[in-house]
Amino acid sequence: MVKKRRLDNNGSTGFQVWSIPRAPRSARKKGLYKKTTDGRNFGAIELLASLAGKLLHENENSASRAASEGCNLLLIPKDMLQYKIDTVEKSIKSEDHGSSGGGAFALERASENSQQKDSSERSPKVEGDTTWDGTSVSTNFACCEKESSESKSTVSKSVNFCSEVSKSEKIMAVNEQAVVVSCSNDSTEEHISKPCSTNAISAGRKDDMRFYREDDDENISRFSKSRCTKSKPSKHSHIIIDRRIRKLLSFKHWKPAPQLKDVESFGSGRNISSNKRRINRHSLYYHDLLYKRKKLLDGSCFMNTDEVLSSEGHYRSHGVYVNQYDPAAFDAMDSQIKFSIKSFMIPELLIDVPETATVGSLKRTIVEAISTIIGRGFHVGVMLHGKKIHDDNRTLLQAGISCKGNLDNFGFMLEPNLTQSSPKSIAPQDSHILPCNISQQLTRTLDKVISDMGVSHSSSDPGNSTSVSNNNVDNSHDLDVSLTQDIVTGKPSFESGDLPILQTSLEPLAVVPANMNNKGSEQSQRRTRKPFSVLEVEALIQAVEELGTGRWRDVKLRSFENKDHRTYVDLKDKWRTLVHTASIAAQQRRGDPVPQQLLDRVMAAHSYWSQHHSKQVGPIDGAPIEITDDPVALPSIKV
DNA sequence: TTTAGGG
DNA sequence: CCCTAAA
């Protein structure tokens, strides 16, 4: 899935970026959209670069048009930028000269030049109804090219990158005057509507995206950090890129910040997942996005620009984001450009909290630790299983934190504290970049807290103690890769640009799950494994013996009606594994052993129902088949 | 929504 | 367990 491609357009700055183009599910499923390891696939930046190059030679009209639709995005090499700024400034004043779709046009040509073949990525048209008040919203990218043999530029190039992908719209969201953007799957609607308020726009200027030199992490190069305000609308131009780019660069890397209502059901990923799935196709897309993102973990692919996008297509106005640059992640690739959204980062915080500490003291500890870095103005909430722990007087032990052990459902929540809000102290603009990311650090902190406390498995459910234990093992194991995963999964981040929300929103900013390093968070969170008990297995076998396979819903209704955590899909899966288990040597079986007797029944029922069409002639209640008397039901030896 | 399978 | 094409 990882697509990388270098583009050297018109001899201008070459961009290289990691991009994860999407293809329709069907295409992907059928392998029509296999990744190409030779990097033949286009990259978003490549298109952007092409565009930039083209734009350099386009007339001002294009720029004007672009600026008028600045909700999209811009990516221009810095050296071009100066040029564009000038031209845009002029043309903005003279208004749009009717060069509708100039940007798109450029893009189309660019795509041709870049040998873009994918028909599904046909050059789209600029949305005619997209409006823009002409005010610039800009986000800066400072990029640093890694020196490579093929790179012409030996020195870093700076790029201005203005797009919804990165900042502008997010910032608008901050002020709750968001540009409404609804994203959806390929070839469907996207709406960029409502011009952003200048107010919102002005907030965007704080954003800053940077590229780091891979080989010089500590000496992070910062480049163009220009900003735009409503007073200086044209400081940065905007060039509209079509929805293709938008999808490439943004949607697949966006993730919504959990709202409290989502968080409330944090502990039941299933509910979240299924509910989300019902909302609309946006959420479907989102869900898919997360899924893909999750898959990216394996592919070491990343390009993270965190965004807030609710399933309704509205930006949420609260969220804590941390974007993170992980050198290690890049090491795996010979990428030339690394970039990271400027984030509000916090150095590692190690906090020792005794098990007997109270929740309140834990909160205070966290607040203290963080506030020394970002200042006051917030407080920390502790979430466990989707519920805020309000009783600060309870100890962690009493709160169940030490007992649960399962950090899946444990997290912190940074909340604004209006009484102490102080923009200056909270949002140190252009603050130095600290080496760590808050979510990660919170994670680590929490992990440490938990580990220091020593996980006491005083679980009341003996059947779960093992899984609890396993979870802890997993957590510690995953810790090492949390950085990468943060990037890939786009964990909520804490950006200076977002910080103003701290003063404007009463709602929790976000939940920072303690184990953000886990594969999924929020709605994509995998259900905690719940092994089938022997009794359940027996019930399943019983039901299948009577109903046959292929009637999992009936099986569910019959024997697992009151077990919400066992879906018919689960039952089906379990049966499949049972059949498999029964067919392999006992020595190869894992997990809690299932009595051979039951496995024999499994094989018998499986054989029987594979010979009989369960759907049609399934035995009825009270008249279960006598499998053991059926010749074909004899335990099969075959594998 | 269910079923059936791949992962 | 998850995900999803098909039915």
Supply the DSSP string of A261-272, one letter for each residue: HHHHTTT-HHHH
Q: In the predicted model, is pLDDT for residue A46 greater than 80?
A: no
Residue A146 one-letter amino acid: K
User: What would the pLDDT profile of A172-229 be if each residue is shown by its tens digit?
Assistant: 222 222 222 222 333 323 332 223 222 222 222 223 222 222 222 222 222 222 222 2
In this structure, is the CB of residue A619 within 7 Å of any atom belonging to strand B?
no
**Strand C protein footprint, C-beta under 7 A:** A 25-26, 29, 269-270, 273, 287-288, 290-291, 294, 524, 526-530, 565, 569-570, 573, 576-577
- Please name the residue whose C-alpha is nearest to the C1' of nucleotide B6: A29
Distance CA A48, CA A377 (A): 39
Mean pLDDT, rounded, for A551-579: 93
Cβ A568 to strand B below 7 Å: yes
Residue A488 has pLDDT above 70, yes or no: no
Q: What is the nearest nucleotide to A292, using C1' and CA?
A: C3
Interatomic CA–C1' length for residue A284 and nucleotide C3, angstroms: 12
C1'-nearest nucleotide to the CA of A573: C1
Distance A21 CA to C1 C1' (A): 27
Judge if the beta carbon of A40 is closer than 7 A to nucleic acid strand B.
Answer: no
pLDDT at A267 over 90: no
The answer to whether A138 touches A160, Cβ cutoff 8 Å, is yes
pLDDT in tens, A566-596: 999 999 999 999 999 999 998 888 888 899 9
* A412 Cβ contact partners less than 8 Å away, ≥ 6 residues apart: A366, A380, A381, A382, A383, A442, A446, A511, A512, A514
**Contacting residues for A588 by C-beta, under 8 A, at least 6 apart:** none
Confidence check: pLDDT of A629 > 80: no
Burial class (CB in 10 A: 0-12, 13-18, 19+), A553: middle
For chain A, what is the mean pLDDT?
A: 43
Q: What is the mean pLDDT of residues A433-443?
A: 33
A139 CB and strand B closer than 7 A: no
Nearest CA to A516 among A270, A345, A268, A322?
Answer: A322
Residues 6+ apart with CB under 8 A from A204: A137, A138, A139, A167, A168, A170, A171, A172, A228, A497
Protein CA at A239 to nucleotide C1' at C4, angstroms: 38
Q: Which nucleotide is nearest to A524 (CA to C1')?
A: C2
Which single residue has its CA nearest the C1' atom of nucleotide B5?
A573
For the residues A221-248, what does the mean pLDDT come to? 28
CA-closest candidate to residue A433, choices A351, A324, A335:
A324
Q: Kindly tell me the sign of the dihedral angle through the C-alpha atoms of A326, A327, A330, A332.
A: negative
Amino acid (1-letter code) at residue A497? G
pLDDT for the residue numbered A58: 34
pLDDT digits (tens, 9 = 90+) for A376-426: 665 555 565 555 666 665 555 656 655 444 454 556 555 555 333 333 222
Judged by DSSP in three states, A286 sits in helix
Q: How many angstroms is C1' of C5 away from CA of A615?
A: 20
- Which has the higher per-residue pLDDT, A594 or A630? A594
Chain A window 155-184: residues with CB closer than 7 Å to nucleic chain B are: none
pLDDT at A530 exceeding the cut of 60: yes
Higher pLDDT, A537 or A203: A537
Task: Tell me how far apart the alpha carbons of residues A371 and A385 are, in angstroms, rounded to a whole number.
Answer: 26
Which amino acid, one-letter code, is at A349? L
Given this model, what pLDDT does residue A471 score?
32
Question: Which strand C bases fall within 7 angstroms of a protein CB?
Answer: 1-6
- Three-class SS state of A320: coil
Residue with tokens 């007992």: A403
Does residue A378 or residue A337 have the better pLDDT?
Answer: A378
Q: Which domains does chain A have, with CATH numbers?
A: 3-165+193-250 (no CATH), 254-325+342-530 (no CATH), 534-633 (1.10.246.220)
- Kindly give, in sequence order, each residue whose CB lies less than 8 Å from that of residue A167, ignoring residues fewer than 6 positions away: A137, A139, A204, A207, A209, A341, A497
Protein chain A, residues 257-286, with a C-beta closer than 7 Å to any atom of nucleic acid strand B: 278
Residue A372 to residue A523: CA distance in whole angstroms:
32
Q: How many CA atoms lie within 13 A of A132 on its CB side?
A: 32
Top-confidence range, A79-93, A232-246, A597-611: A597-611
Residue nearest to nucleotide C3 (CA to C1'): A291
CB A456 within 8 A of CB A402: yes
Pairwise CA distance, residues A558 & A411, whole Å: 38
| Amino acid at the residue A390 | H
pLDDT of residue A349: 58
Closest CA to A241 of A402, A50, A411: A50
CB A79 within 8 A of CB A13: yes
- CA A331 to C1' C5 (Å) is 37
CA/C1' separation A284–C5 (Å): 15
A634 pLDDT band (50/70/90 cuts)? very low
User: In this complex, which residue's CA is closest to the C1' atom of nucleotide B2?
Assistant: A553
Residue A391 CB: number of other CB atoms within 10 A?
12
- The pLDDT of residue A158 is 26
Nucleotide closest to A576 measured between CA and C1': B5
CB A343 within 8 A of CB A437: yes
Distance A455 CA to C5 C1' (A): 43
Cα–Cα dist A515/A474, whole Å: 10
Those nucleotides of strand B lying less than 7 Å from any protein Cβ are 1-7
pLDDT band at A15 (very low <50, low <70, confident <90, very high): very low
Other Cβ atoms closer than 10 A to A314 = 17
Does residue A551 or residue A105 have the better pLDDT? A551
What's the CA A463/C1' B4 distance, rounded, in angstroms?
Answer: 30
Residue A462, token pair as written in the block = 């003996």
Cβ of A93 near strand B (distance < 7 A): no
Mean pLDDT comparison of A53-62, A522-531, A578-587, highest-scoring range: A578-587
Question: Å between A446 CA and B3 C1'?
Answer: 42
Is the pLDDT reported for residue A516 higher than 70? no
Confidence of residue A150 (pLDDT cuts 50, 70, 90): very low
Report the phi/psi class of residue A192: left, alpha or beta, with left for phi > 0 and alpha for psi in -120 to 50.
beta
- Residue A550: pLDDT above 70? yes
Residue A612 pLDDT > 60 = yes
Residue with tokens 């898919």: A288
Task: Say yes or no: Cβ of A618 under 7 A from any atom of strand B.
Answer: no
Instruction: Please state, for a pLDDT cut of 70, what percent of chain A lies above it.
Output: 14
DSSP state letters, A360-424: HHHHHHHHHHHHHHH-SSEEEEEEETTEE---TTSBHHHHTHHHH--GGGEEEEEEE-GGG--HH
Spacing of A175 CA from B3 C1' in Å: 47
Residue A26 CA and nucleotide C5 C1' are separated, in Å, by 8
- Output A343 or A77, whichever has higher pLDDT: A343
Provide the percentage of residues in chain A whose pLDDT is more than 90: 10
Does position A606 have pLDDT exceeding 60, yes or no? Answer: yes
Closest residue to B3 (CA, C1′): A550
- Determine the pLDDT at residue A596: 92
Identify the pLDDT of residue A599.
Answer: 92
Highest mean pLDDT among A338-347, A366-375, A439-448, A453-462: A366-375
CA of A212 to C1' of B3 (A): 50
| Strand, coil or helix: A629 | helix
Give, in Å, how far the C1' of C2 lies from the CA of A288. 12
Residue A67 pLDDT:
31
| pLDDT exceeds cutoff 90 at A41 | no
Over residues A49-61, the mean pLDDT reads: 35
CA of A287 to C1' of B4 (A): 22
Q: Average pLDDT, stretch A496-515? A: 34
Residues A386 and A265: beta-carbon distance below 8 Å: yes
Cα–Cα distance measured from residue A264 to residue A494, given in angstroms and rounded to the nearest whole number: 21
DSSP A586: G
Maximum Cα–Cα distance across chain A: 90
